[in-house]
Amino acid sequence: MNAGNSQVRGSRAGMVVLGAAVIVGIVVCALLAEPFLGAITWALSLAILFAPFHGWIETKLKHPSLAAMVSVLTIVLLVAVPAAFLVGRLVEEAASGAASVRTRVADGEIQRLLETHPGIAPIGRWIDQQVDLPAMMASLATWLSNAGATFVKGSVLQAAEVVLTFYMLFYFLRDRTAVARLLRDWMPLESTDTERLFQRVFDTVHATVYGTLAVAAVQGSLGGLMFWILGLPTPLLWGVVMSVLSVVPVLGAFIVWIPAAILLLLDGDWGKALILAVWGGIVVGGIDNVLRPMFVGNQLRLHTIPAFISMIGGLALFGAPGFILGPLAVTVTMLLVEVWAARDKVSKQQE
């Protein structure tokens, strides 16, 4: 009897030690992977998004490595090349916008604009007394130029992360079946729950990328298009800014087009101001209600508040990869809670 109890205690002690070793190992592995978190996140997201395309490539090319190479090269042409071109144009637009700000400040155009409107002239004079507006605008212009230069200097590190992303993407695509099988074996879940977990991950990535980014891209494109039609400066830059603002919950493209419409109104361009206001309020603002249900639907399965917290908190905690990791962490945790609650309910019924 004592020998049996000793074996049980030894077995339990062994399990505790093994569990502690597993936890320590997971923490160490997480610390090792932390510098590569961005590349891993983007590579995994691209692998999920382009999985159907890669599956089609595999049916045409029977060699797994060749099929993965063709898929990666195609994704580079579809994603990396346009992104590099866009970044180059943004740097040019930022420099052009900074030069335009400097010119307007140096010529005193803003002060003359305020003085020509008696209704707001007192406000303008009060602002001028409280704030050194020319100096502030000049500082803003300098900051824009320096930001562009800093981005160019940091492009080497960005390029290294991009190369690492596509390097990992190759193996994620080529070995995805083996990796999925390994994860299924390691998961402490029933097979049905594991499949639900995989599906939740796929749905979250698709909803985050296609739903949020696609809608933001359309809104920014529509806003930038109207800026270009109306002859406003740096339409590409402001279009991208509107896209970025559209990604962030609560914020939106209106933060750009409303001040632009007000400036047009102050300049006496009533027609352009009205066109921009109508276009921004109805087309740019309304397209979100049309496209988001089409792109997102019920895939993300998050209320507005958890979605807001997951995106903002993810960006604050993980940086740019948090845009995907934040919603992913929340949706996966919600699924695990659902599985735990279901098991607890079954356990109570059996008792």
Burial of 244 (0-12, 13-18, 19+ CB in 10 A): middle
- Amino acid symbol at 242: M
Most confident of 12-21, 44-53, 341-350: 44-53
Residue range 279-318, pLDDT digits in tens: 888 888 878 777 766 666 556 666 667 777 787 788 788 8
pLDDT band at 74 (very low <50, low <70, confident <90, very high): very high
Q: How many CA atoms lie within 13 A of 242 on its CB side?
A: 29
3-state secondary structure of 299: coil
Write down the residue that tokens 């397209």 correspond to: 287
Residue range 224-239, pLDDT digits in tens: 888 898 888 778 878 8
DSSP letter (8 states) at residue 351: -
Report pLDDT for 331. 85
How far is the C-alpha of 161 from the C-alpha of 43, rounded, in Å?
10
pLDDT band at 320 (very low <50, low <70, confident <90, very high): confident
Report pLDDT for 263. 73
Q: Any idea which of 15-29, 161-175, 294-308 has the lowest mean pLDDT?
A: 294-308
Which of the two residues, 19 and 94, has the higher pLDDT score? 19
Which of the two residues, 135 and 209, has the higher pLDDT score? 209
Average pLDDT over residues 125-142: 59
Q: Any idea which of 37-46, 103-112, 188-197, 282-291 has the lowest mean pLDDT?
A: 103-112
Burial of 250 (0-12, 13-18, 19+ CB in 10 A): exposed
Closest CA to 223 of 247, 250, 199, 256: 256
Q: Is the dihedral of CA 30, 158, 207, 198 positive or negative?
A: negative
Report pLDDT for 73. 93
Average pLDDT over residues 170-194: 84
Q: Is the dihedral of CA 294, 300, 303, 304 positive or negative?
A: negative
Q: Any idea which of 111-120, 233-242, 281-290, 341-350 has the lowest mean pLDDT?
A: 111-120
Residue 189 has pLDDT above 90, yes or no: no
Report pLDDT for 69. 93
| End-to-end Cα, the chain, rounded Å | 28
3-state secondary structure of 321: coil
